[in-house]
Structure 1
């Protein structure tokens, strides 16, 4: 059984890594000249696109960690009359398809003058009902004894959250941060609609420009794709151990 298990893992690893090998070989197989051309192509503005994606992903991840953790903690620990109703309302929004809210969100962003503006890319993604649910489930199982000790020391509820709950939940915050960063980095449809000016393109929109142009630049496309996945691979490698820990601590493990 051990041999079969290792063989199955080896086959799965090869199937998983094969597309990445093809991507890197096709994009970087001709040497660094392709990468140099990628960053010097003035019509593509790939450097600016990488910077825009980094800004959007970092701000959205930070915003979701702050806002969603506070909302989740409030739903889990702050007693008030309509807590259950608010929680179920948040969960109900998870069943609404993204396509239903896409047009109203665009109308709001357009009325604020945020089209072709980084604010239009960042602000709509600062809150996630799914993250509120996950944080709420985590904080429900957080040791109440630690919070009680903080209250006895004279801390307010906000002080307990900031000085006791958050420092003792770094692993879970890191797990959520990895998922949020990857999801934000890989956004395509919303940036495609909002970033109508090339100065606000994210890296995914820049990649689509290479694919749909009249003269497809296949080699540059593969090189750009290989470069664009490096940040999320780096984030995943640095924080991947927290993903398993976060899953086991989320209250969703059965």
Structure 2
């Protein structure tokens, strides 16, 4: 009997609440809530419209140099040097891309760039990861001093020790060779600092649990810590690829022949202090940039995830 009364009371209360919500005479609170909901939706749509407008404008500004480069690569030299900008060349000059292969050993320089980038990326992933783990997790005498020396490299412009690096490479007989090109980029202070930060952020309990299970230092590094540092390693690989592919000064210093240069230095040989064929130079730049651009488009999600997880600005 009590359960029946309780059920009837609940049904009556529900009907009263429903009637009040639907009663036009008592509908002011519901109308006010609806008005507030409409206002929030309108405000949200307005904020989204402004955000999309700002983002679209920013994307246009960022993409314009690349689009302008494409337009110039398909124009004539007179159109490029015209005082009045020519936003569309009319007849597309596809011969500028053919001229690139006539003036440069493009495929040979492209292969050199790929080889240099691959060697440097693999070397930095191995050396910087191991050095970062050592500075973050291992305790040894002089660790603080060595870390300070490594980090001090970040405060010195690379041009300061350019002459010393050249003398070392010259003394080793590595001028005009792949070894001379890749040697200074096998290790980086930035990569070491980045990996050290990643290993410091990992819980100490993981390492202690692995030691209790009988794992040695190498097993802890290889099987426990390294998989967790994969996002940061992807960031290191991306930055190393971009830096190595675009490096210009060092290849110009240690190479004297066009056939031994990577693409970044080979493009510089197309520029002259007397006459420069700008459309051909722009076409060569597009071809040199295409592999990195395609790789970014294919690996875009991994690139963004890696940068977000590492906190790199």
Tell me the TM-score normalised to structure 1 length.
0.90
Q: Contact conserved, 1:24 with 1:222, CA < 8 A, in 2?
A: yes
Q: Contact conserved, 2:198 with 2:229, CA < 8 A, in 1?
A: no
CA distance in 2, matches of 1:28, 1:171: 39
Q: Contact conserved, 2:119 with 2:182, CA < 8 A, in 1?
A: yes
Q: Contact conserved, 2:231 with 2:309, CA < 8 A, in 1?
A: no
SS at match of 2:215: coil
List aligned pairs for 1:156-195, cutoff 5 A: 156-195=216-255
Question: Which residue is 2:4 aligned to?
Answer: none
CA distance in 1, matches of 2:297, 2:239: 12
CA distance in 2, matches of 1:27, 1:95: 38
List aligned pairs for 1:71-110, cutoff 5 A: 71-110=131-170
Q: What's the offset of the Cα at 1:243?
A: 4.4
SS at match of 1:142: coil
> Structure 1 residue aligned with 2:283, among 223, 235, 238?
223
Question: Which residue is 1:237 aligned to?
Answer: 297
Say whether residues 1:210 and 2:266 are aligned partners.
no
List aligned pairs for 1:34-113, cutoff 5 A: 34-39=96-101, 41=102, 43-113=103-173
CA distance in 1, matches of 2:224, 2:99: 50
CA distance in 2, matches of 1:250, 1:85: 26
CA distance in 2, matches of 1:143, 1:163: 15
Structure 1 residues not aligned, in runs of 5+: none
> Closer, same or farther in 2 for the Cα pair 1:33/1:184, shift >3 Å?
same
- State the Cα deviation string for residues 42-81 of structure 1 (Å, max 9, x = none): x410111111111111111111111011000000001123
Q: Contact conserved, 1:77 with 1:139, CA < 8 A, in 2?
A: yes
Q: How many residues align?
A: 251
> Closer, same or farther in 2 for the Cα pair 1:237/1:147, shift >3 Å?
farther
Q: Contact conserved, 1:176 with 1:246, CA < 8 A, in 2?
A: no
Q: Contact conserved, 2:181 with 2:250, CA < 8 A, in 1?
A: yes
- State the Cα deviation string for residues 223-249 of structure 1 (Å, max 9, x = none): 111111112212323344344444454
- State the Cα deviation string for residues 91-116 of structure 1 (Å, max 9, x = none): 12211221211110011011111111
Tell me the TM-score normalised to structure 2 length.
0.74
SS at match of 2:271: helix
Q: Contact conserved, 1:56 with 1:122, CA < 8 A, in 2?
A: yes
Q: What's the offset of the Cα at 1:215?
A: 4.6
SS at match of 1:216: coil
> Structure 1 residue aligned with 2:201, among 135, 141, 144?
141
Q: Contact conserved, 1:188 with 1:205, CA < 8 A, in 2?
A: yes
Larger radius of gyration: 2
Q: Contact conserved, 1:53 with 1:203, CA < 8 A, in 2?
A: yes
CA distance in 2, matches of 1:101, 1:56: 21
CA distance in 2, matches of 1:228, 1:58: 16
Question: Which residue is 2:61 aligned to?
Answer: 15
Structure 2 residues not aligned, in runs of 5+: 1-46, 76-91
